[in-house]
Structure 1
Amino acid sequence: MRILGIDPGIAIVGFGFIDKHGSKLTPVQYGCIQTEAHTPEEERLLYVYEGITQLIDQYKPDAVAFEKLFFNRNVTTAMSVSQARGVLVLAAVQKGLQVAEYTPMQVKQAIVGYGKAEKRQVQEMVKMYLRLQKIPKPDDVADALAVAICHAHSYTLNSKLNEVLKS
Protein backbone atom coordinates (compact mmCIF):
# COMPACT_ATOMS: atom_id res chain seq x y z
CA MET A 1 0.00 0.00 0.00
CA ARG A 2 1.31 3.45 -0.88
CA ILE A 3 0.33 6.33 1.39
CA LEU A 4 0.69 10.05 0.77
CA GLY A 5 0.95 12.11 3.94
CA ILE A 6 0.29 15.84 3.66
CA ASP A 7 0.96 18.71 6.04
CA PRO A 8 -1.22 21.43 4.46
CA GLY A 9 -0.13 25.03 4.11
CA ILE A 10 -0.24 27.97 1.73
CA ALA A 11 3.47 28.86 1.85
CA ILE A 12 4.75 25.31 2.33
CA VAL A 13 2.92 22.03 1.74
CA GLY A 14 4.87 19.13 3.17
CA PHE A 15 4.36 15.79 1.44
CA GLY A 16 5.67 12.29 1.97
CA PHE A 17 5.00 9.06 0.10
CA ILE A 18 5.66 5.82 1.94
CA ASP A 19 5.10 2.20 1.04
CA LYS A 20 3.72 -0.24 3.60
CA HIS A 21 4.49 -3.92 3.12
CA GLY A 22 3.37 -5.86 6.18
CA SER A 23 4.93 -4.02 9.09
CA LYS A 24 7.73 -2.55 6.98
CA LEU A 25 7.55 1.12 6.01
CA THR A 26 9.71 2.44 3.18
CA PRO A 27 10.09 6.07 2.09
CA VAL A 28 9.36 6.58 -1.61
CA GLN A 29 9.60 10.36 -2.06
CA TYR A 30 9.20 13.38 0.17
CA GLY A 31 9.60 17.12 -0.01
CA CYS A 32 7.52 20.24 -0.17
CA ILE A 33 5.59 22.46 -2.53
CA GLN A 34 6.49 26.08 -1.83
CA THR A 35 4.69 29.19 -3.00
CA GLU A 36 6.09 32.70 -3.15
CA ALA A 37 4.95 35.27 -0.61
CA HIS A 38 3.26 38.35 -2.10
CA THR A 39 1.86 36.23 -4.95
CA PRO A 40 -1.93 36.52 -5.31
CA GLU A 41 -3.60 33.85 -3.22
CA GLU A 42 -5.51 32.35 -6.14
CA GLU A 43 -2.20 31.79 -7.99
CA ARG A 44 -0.71 30.16 -4.90
CA LEU A 45 -3.70 27.84 -4.61
CA LEU A 46 -3.44 26.89 -8.28
CA TYR A 47 0.28 26.15 -7.84
CA VAL A 48 -0.45 23.93 -4.80
CA TYR A 49 -3.25 22.12 -6.67
CA GLU A 50 -1.16 21.52 -9.78
CA GLY A 51 1.85 20.46 -7.72
CA ILE A 52 -0.01 17.85 -5.69
CA THR A 53 -1.88 16.59 -8.78
CA GLN A 54 1.43 15.99 -10.57
CA LEU A 55 2.82 14.17 -7.53
CA ILE A 56 -0.29 11.98 -7.24
CA ASP A 57 -0.07 11.14 -10.95
CA GLN A 58 3.62 10.30 -10.67
CA TYR A 59 3.66 8.27 -7.42
CA LYS A 60 0.12 6.82 -7.50
CA PRO A 61 -0.78 6.53 -3.81
CA ASP A 62 -3.60 4.28 -2.59
CA ALA A 63 -4.57 6.64 0.23
CA VAL A 64 -3.96 10.21 1.36
CA ALA A 65 -3.69 11.29 4.99
CA PHE A 66 -3.84 14.90 6.15
CA GLU A 67 -2.89 16.55 9.37
CA LYS A 68 -6.04 18.14 10.74
CA LEU A 69 -5.78 21.91 10.91
CA PHE A 70 -5.58 23.57 14.29
CA PHE A 71 -5.31 27.32 14.82
CA ASN A 72 -5.68 29.37 17.93
CA ARG A 73 -4.38 32.77 16.87
CA ASN A 74 -4.13 34.11 13.33
CA VAL A 75 -7.49 33.94 11.55
CA THR A 76 -6.04 35.24 8.26
CA THR A 77 -3.45 32.45 8.18
CA ALA A 78 -6.12 29.92 9.14
CA MET A 79 -8.29 30.95 6.18
CA SER A 80 -5.43 30.70 3.66
CA VAL A 81 -4.28 27.34 4.97
CA SER A 82 -7.88 26.08 4.98
CA GLN A 83 -8.23 27.06 1.33
CA ALA A 84 -4.97 25.27 0.50
CA ARG A 85 -6.20 22.19 2.36
CA GLY A 86 -9.40 22.36 0.32
CA VAL A 87 -7.58 22.24 -3.02
CA LEU A 88 -5.37 19.42 -1.72
CA VAL A 89 -8.41 17.37 -0.68
CA LEU A 90 -10.07 18.17 -4.01
CA ALA A 91 -7.04 16.87 -5.92
CA ALA A 92 -7.06 13.63 -3.92
CA VAL A 93 -10.79 13.05 -4.28
CA GLN A 94 -10.70 13.82 -8.02
CA LYS A 95 -8.14 11.03 -8.35
CA GLY A 96 -10.47 8.62 -6.52
CA LEU A 97 -8.29 8.35 -3.41
CA GLN A 98 -9.53 7.62 0.08
CA VAL A 99 -8.81 10.53 2.42
CA ALA A 100 -8.07 10.30 6.14
CA GLU A 101 -7.42 13.05 8.66
CA TYR A 102 -5.55 12.96 11.97
CA THR A 103 -5.15 15.52 14.72
CA PRO A 104 -1.63 16.48 15.77
CA MET A 105 -2.25 14.59 19.03
CA GLN A 106 -3.25 11.42 17.14
CA VAL A 107 -0.11 11.65 15.00
CA LYS A 108 2.13 12.10 18.06
CA GLN A 109 0.41 9.19 19.81
CA ALA A 110 0.92 6.93 16.78
CA ILE A 111 4.54 7.94 16.22
CA VAL A 112 5.94 8.46 19.73
CA GLY A 113 3.31 6.78 21.90
CA TYR A 114 2.57 10.03 23.71
CA GLY A 115 0.03 12.57 22.43
CA LYS A 116 1.88 15.55 23.87
CA ALA A 117 5.31 14.63 22.51
CA GLU A 118 7.67 17.39 21.41
CA LYS A 119 8.16 18.10 17.71
CA ARG A 120 11.79 16.94 17.91
CA GLN A 121 10.72 13.56 19.34
CA VAL A 122 8.31 13.05 16.43
CA GLN A 123 11.01 14.00 13.93
CA GLU A 124 13.49 11.55 15.46
CA MET A 125 10.92 8.75 15.35
CA VAL A 126 10.11 9.52 11.68
CA LYS A 127 13.83 9.24 10.95
CA MET A 128 13.99 5.93 12.81
CA TYR A 129 10.80 4.37 11.33
CA LEU A 130 11.91 5.16 7.78
CA ARG A 131 15.60 4.47 8.37
CA LEU A 132 16.62 7.91 7.10
CA GLN A 133 20.11 9.36 7.45
CA LYS A 134 18.77 12.69 8.75
CA ILE A 135 15.54 14.37 9.75
CA PRO A 136 13.73 15.70 6.66
CA LYS A 137 13.62 19.48 6.35
CA PRO A 138 11.73 21.74 6.49
CA ASP A 139 9.64 20.61 9.46
CA ASP A 140 6.55 20.40 7.23
CA VAL A 141 8.13 17.45 5.38
CA ALA A 142 8.81 15.51 8.58
CA ASP A 143 5.25 16.29 9.68
CA ALA A 144 3.85 14.94 6.40
CA LEU A 145 5.84 11.72 6.77
CA ALA A 146 4.60 11.42 10.36
CA VAL A 147 1.00 11.68 9.12
CA ALA A 148 1.67 8.97 6.52
CA ILE A 149 3.17 6.70 9.21
CA CYS A 150 0.20 7.41 11.48
CA HIS A 151 -2.15 6.35 8.69
CA ALA A 152 -0.14 3.20 8.06
CA HIS A 153 -0.51 2.24 11.73
CA SER A 154 -4.19 3.21 11.86
CA TYR A 155 -4.97 1.38 8.63
CA THR A 156 -3.40 -1.80 10.00
CA LEU A 157 -5.29 -1.49 13.28
CA ASN A 158 -8.60 -0.76 11.55
CA SER A 159 -8.11 -3.67 9.12
CA LYS A 160 -7.52 -6.08 12.01
CA LEU A 161 -10.50 -4.67 13.91
CA ASN A 162 -12.76 -5.13 10.86
CA GLU A 163 -11.57 -8.75 10.51
CA VAL A 164 -12.46 -9.44 14.14
CA LEU A 165 -15.86 -7.78 13.81
CA LYS A 166 -16.67 -9.83 10.67
CA SER A 167 -15.84 -13.12 12.49
Structure 2
Amino acid sequence: MRVIGIDLGFVTTGFSIVEKREGKIFLLDSGLLSMSSSQSVSYRIGCFYDFFDQKLIEGQIQVISLETPFLGKNVQSFLKLGYLRGLLYLLANKHNLDILEFSPREVKLSITGFGGAEKDQIARVLMRLFPGLQMPKKLDLTDAMAVSLCGLWNSSFKK
Protein backbone atom coordinates (compact mmCIF):
# COMPACT_ATOMS: atom_id res chain seq x y z
CA MET A 1 0.00 0.00 0.00
CA ARG A 2 1.42 3.40 -1.03
CA VAL A 3 0.06 6.63 0.37
CA ILE A 4 0.95 10.22 -0.36
CA GLY A 5 0.27 12.66 2.44
CA ILE A 6 -0.02 16.31 1.49
CA ASP A 7 0.18 19.34 3.78
CA LEU A 8 -1.42 22.01 1.60
CA GLY A 9 -0.02 25.49 1.30
CA PHE A 10 -0.31 28.07 -1.44
CA VAL A 11 3.36 29.02 -1.15
CA THR A 12 4.83 25.85 0.42
CA THR A 13 3.22 22.41 0.21
CA GLY A 14 4.75 19.45 2.00
CA PHE A 15 4.41 15.91 0.69
CA SER A 16 5.43 12.47 1.84
CA ILE A 17 5.11 9.04 0.25
CA VAL A 18 5.06 6.02 2.54
CA GLU A 19 4.59 2.35 1.86
CA LYS A 20 3.74 -0.63 3.99
CA ARG A 21 5.49 -3.77 2.83
CA GLU A 22 5.93 -7.05 4.71
CA GLY A 23 4.71 -5.43 7.92
CA LYS A 24 7.23 -2.58 7.76
CA ILE A 25 6.74 1.06 6.91
CA PHE A 26 9.11 2.74 4.47
CA LEU A 27 9.50 6.45 3.75
CA LEU A 28 9.94 6.49 -0.04
CA ASP A 29 9.94 10.20 -0.82
CA SER A 30 9.28 13.50 0.87
CA GLY A 31 9.83 17.13 0.14
CA LEU A 32 8.41 20.54 -0.44
CA LEU A 33 6.82 22.20 -3.42
CA SER A 34 7.74 25.86 -3.02
CA MET A 35 6.17 28.58 -5.15
CA SER A 36 6.75 32.31 -5.05
CA SER A 37 3.92 34.45 -3.72
CA SER A 38 4.80 36.93 -6.48
CA GLN A 39 3.62 34.43 -9.11
CA SER A 40 -0.01 34.60 -10.23
CA VAL A 41 -2.58 32.33 -8.61
CA SER A 42 -3.29 30.63 -11.93
CA TYR A 43 0.42 29.92 -12.49
CA ARG A 44 0.81 28.40 -9.01
CA ILE A 45 -2.31 26.27 -9.50
CA GLY A 46 -0.86 24.95 -12.76
CA CYS A 47 2.48 24.16 -11.10
CA PHE A 48 0.68 22.39 -8.24
CA TYR A 49 -1.40 20.29 -10.63
CA ASP A 50 1.57 19.29 -12.81
CA PHE A 51 3.78 18.49 -9.81
CA PHE A 52 1.27 16.21 -8.07
CA ASP A 53 0.06 14.61 -11.29
CA GLN A 54 3.67 13.49 -11.86
CA LYS A 55 4.16 12.41 -8.21
CA LEU A 56 1.05 10.22 -8.35
CA ILE A 57 2.25 8.52 -11.51
CA GLU A 58 5.92 8.10 -10.56
CA GLY A 59 5.15 7.09 -6.98
CA GLN A 60 2.53 4.51 -8.00
CA ILE A 61 0.25 6.02 -5.37
CA GLN A 62 -2.88 4.20 -4.22
CA VAL A 63 -4.26 6.65 -1.64
CA ILE A 64 -4.09 10.41 -1.11
CA SER A 65 -4.20 11.50 2.53
CA LEU A 66 -5.15 15.05 3.57
CA GLU A 67 -5.91 17.04 6.67
CA THR A 68 -9.37 18.56 6.75
CA PRO A 69 -9.22 22.33 6.44
CA PHE A 70 -10.17 24.71 9.18
CA LEU A 71 -11.21 28.31 8.78
CA GLY A 72 -8.63 30.48 10.48
CA LYS A 73 -8.50 34.24 10.46
CA ASN A 74 -7.78 34.61 6.76
CA VAL A 75 -10.75 33.73 4.55
CA GLN A 76 -8.73 34.35 1.36
CA SER A 77 -6.14 31.74 2.38
CA PHE A 78 -8.91 29.27 3.18
CA LEU A 79 -10.46 29.87 -0.24
CA LYS A 80 -7.14 29.42 -2.07
CA LEU A 81 -6.49 26.15 -0.23
CA GLY A 82 -9.90 25.05 -1.50
CA TYR A 83 -8.60 25.47 -5.07
CA LEU A 84 -5.74 23.08 -4.28
CA ARG A 85 -8.05 20.58 -2.60
CA GLY A 86 -10.24 20.64 -5.68
CA LEU A 87 -7.23 19.84 -7.86
CA LEU A 88 -6.37 16.88 -5.65
CA TYR A 89 -9.93 15.56 -6.01
CA LEU A 90 -9.63 15.98 -9.77
CA LEU A 91 -6.31 14.10 -9.76
CA ALA A 92 -7.78 11.36 -7.57
CA ASN A 93 -10.58 10.92 -10.10
CA LYS A 94 -8.13 10.98 -13.04
CA HIS A 95 -5.94 8.28 -11.46
CA ASN A 96 -8.78 6.33 -9.79
CA LEU A 97 -7.45 6.89 -6.26
CA ASP A 98 -9.11 7.14 -2.88
CA ILE A 99 -8.79 10.27 -0.77
CA LEU A 100 -8.78 9.95 3.01
CA GLU A 101 -9.23 13.04 5.17
CA PHE A 102 -8.38 13.48 8.82
CA SER A 103 -8.86 16.33 11.23
CA PRO A 104 -5.68 17.86 12.64
CA ARG A 105 -6.61 16.32 15.98
CA GLU A 106 -6.90 12.83 14.43
CA VAL A 107 -3.48 13.16 12.79
CA LYS A 108 -1.82 14.33 16.02
CA LEU A 109 -3.54 11.58 18.01
CA SER A 110 -2.43 8.84 15.59
CA ILE A 111 1.21 10.00 15.61
CA THR A 112 1.78 11.07 19.22
CA GLY A 113 -1.17 9.63 21.12
CA PHE A 114 -2.20 13.20 22.08
CA GLY A 115 -4.64 15.18 19.94
CA GLY A 116 -3.27 18.51 21.14
CA ALA A 117 0.38 17.82 20.26
CA GLU A 118 2.53 20.64 18.93
CA LYS A 119 4.26 20.46 15.54
CA ASP A 120 7.70 19.93 17.08
CA GLN A 121 6.37 16.98 19.15
CA ILE A 122 5.12 15.36 15.94
CA ALA A 123 8.49 15.96 14.29
CA ARG A 124 10.35 14.31 17.19
CA VAL A 125 8.12 11.20 17.02
CA LEU A 126 8.71 10.97 13.28
CA MET A 127 12.47 11.18 13.78
CA ARG A 128 12.20 8.15 16.06
CA LEU A 129 10.07 6.25 13.55
CA PHE A 130 12.48 7.00 10.71
CA PRO A 131 16.06 6.90 12.04
CA GLY A 132 18.33 9.25 10.14
CA LEU A 133 15.59 11.79 9.56
CA GLN A 134 16.76 15.26 10.53
CA MET A 135 14.60 18.04 11.95
CA PRO A 136 13.48 19.94 8.83
CA LYS A 137 13.70 23.70 8.53
CA LYS A 138 10.02 23.80 7.59
CA LEU A 139 7.58 21.66 9.55
CA ASP A 140 5.32 21.42 6.47
CA LEU A 141 7.46 18.39 5.69
CA THR A 142 6.84 16.56 8.97
CA ASP A 143 3.17 17.59 8.84
CA ALA A 144 2.93 15.84 5.47
CA MET A 145 4.71 12.78 6.86
CA ALA A 146 2.24 12.62 9.74
CA VAL A 147 -0.71 12.88 7.34
CA SER A 148 0.73 10.14 5.12
CA LEU A 149 1.25 7.79 8.08
CA CYS A 150 -2.26 8.49 9.36
CA GLY A 151 -3.57 7.61 5.90
CA LEU A 152 -1.45 4.48 5.67
CA TRP A 153 -2.53 3.20 9.05
CA ASN A 154 -6.20 3.92 8.39
CA SER A 155 -6.22 2.55 4.83
CA SER A 156 -4.56 -0.65 6.10
CA PHE A 157 -7.65 -1.31 8.21
CA LYS A 158 -9.86 -1.00 5.14
CA LYS A 159 -7.85 -3.29 2.84
Q: TM-score w.r.t. structure 2 length?
A: 0.93
**TM-superposed deviation, 1:86:** 1.4
| Residues 98 and 13 of structure 1: CA distance in aligned 2, closer, same or farther (over 3 Å) | same
- 1:8-56 deviation per Cα after TM superposition (whole angstroms, max 9, x unaligned): 1211111100111254211101001111112111111011000101111
Matched residues in 2 for 1:35 and 1:133: separation?
24
- The residue type equivalent to 1:116 in the other structure is G
Q: Distance in 1 between matches of 2:22 and 2:154?
A: 13
Unmatched segments (≥5 aa) in structure 1? 160-167
Q: How many residues align?
A: 159
Q: Which amino acid aligns with 2:95?
A: K
Aligned to 2:32, what secondary structure does the other structure show?
A: strand
Tell me the residue number matched to 1:164.
none
Which protein shows a greater Rg? 1
After TM superposition, the structure 1 = structure 2 runs for residues 1-167 of structure 1, keeping only pairs within 5 Å, are: 1-159=1-159
Give 1:123's aligned amino acid: A
Q: Which amino acid aligns with 2:32?
A: C
Deviation at 1:79, TM superposition (A): 0.8
In structure 2, distance between residues paired with 1:90 and 1:136: 30
Q: Letter of the 2:5 partner, please give it.
A: G
Q: C-alpha displacement at 1:71, in angstroms?
A: 2.4
Structure 1 runs of 4+ aligned residues shifted over 4 Å read none
Partner Cα distance (2:75, 2:113) in 1: 31
- Please provide the CA RMSD for this pair: 1.4
- Structure 1 residues 89 and 135, CA, compared in 2 at 3 Å: closer, same or farther? farther
